[in-house]
């Protein structure tokens, strides 16, 4: 087990498995009929996944525009507060566009329901959701992602953009803190 910042981590999904799955997701998304695609990365946790997925989308012939939406429901802790707020909004008009929301993890669903509803209220033609990890046992909102990287066991995960108190985002894999 790797040790990072004095803590032991168990690798749940390594960088090779993630890269392979991103390529598969790009093919799946490419075949889903999105038009005038705008990819909206939900910050902060999805930035690495979004970057890799966007490059993979280019590899299957898609040329999406990219925006960033910063939402928060966690703050400094490890549990969602249940209240979603916009920290940084997108600048692009989504009216009549197909939007693909990209997030690191679908857990309770509240954040992604908020983002999806916001895009639809603004006139998006279609809003799809791509997530790296789906924690199905934690869902409190009615929502399913169309494009899922991995179903994730009920662990608090870090790495590949995901953090605990702003640490561990830089890791090239998804891991579980063991200690």
In the chain (179 residues long), the average pLDDT of successive 10-residue segments reads 77 98 98 96 96 97 97 62 86 97 94 96 98 91 94 94 91 91
Listed residue (144, 145, 141, 132) closest to 111, CA to CA: 141
State the Cα–Cα distance between residues 14 and 27, nearest whole angstrom. 20
pLDDT value at position 79?
A: 53
CATH for 3-74+82-177, options being 2.60.40.1220, 3.40.50.620, 3.40.50.2020, 3.40.50.150: 3.40.50.2020
pLDDT value at position 83?
A: 83
**3-state SS string over the chain?**
CCEECCEEEEEEECHHHHHHHHHHHHHHHHCCCCCCEEEEEEECCCHHHHHHHHHHHHHCCCCCEEEEEEEECCCCCCCCCCCCEEEECCCCCCCCCEEEEEEEEECCCHHHHHHHHHHHHCCCCEEEEEEEEECHHHCCCCCCCCEEEEECCCCCEEECCECECCECCCCCCEEEECC
pLDDT value at position 134?
A: 96
pLDDT value at position 141?
A: 86
């Amino acid at each position: 087990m790797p040790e990072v910042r004095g803590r032991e981590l168990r690798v749940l999904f390594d960088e090779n498995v993630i890269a392979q799955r991103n390529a598969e997701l790009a093919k799946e998304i490419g075949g889903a009929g999105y038009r005038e695609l705008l990819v909206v990365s939900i910050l902060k946790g999805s930035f690495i996944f979004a970057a890799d997925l966007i490059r993979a989308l280019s590899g299957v012939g898609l040329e999406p525009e990219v925006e960033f939406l910063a939402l928060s429901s966690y703050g400094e802790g490890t549990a969602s507060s249940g209240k979603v707020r916009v920290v940084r909004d997108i600048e692009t008009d989504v009216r009549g566009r197909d939007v693909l929301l990209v997030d690191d993890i679908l857990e309770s669903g509240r954040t992604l329901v908020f983002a999806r509803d916001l895009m639809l209220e603004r006139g998006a033609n279609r809003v799809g959701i791509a997530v790296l990890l789906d924690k199905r046992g934690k869902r409190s909102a009615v929502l399913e992602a169309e494009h899922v990287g991995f179903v994730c066991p009920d662990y608090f995960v870090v790495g590949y953009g995901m953090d605990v108190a702003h640490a561990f985002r830089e890791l090239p894999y998804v891991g579980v803190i063991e200690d």
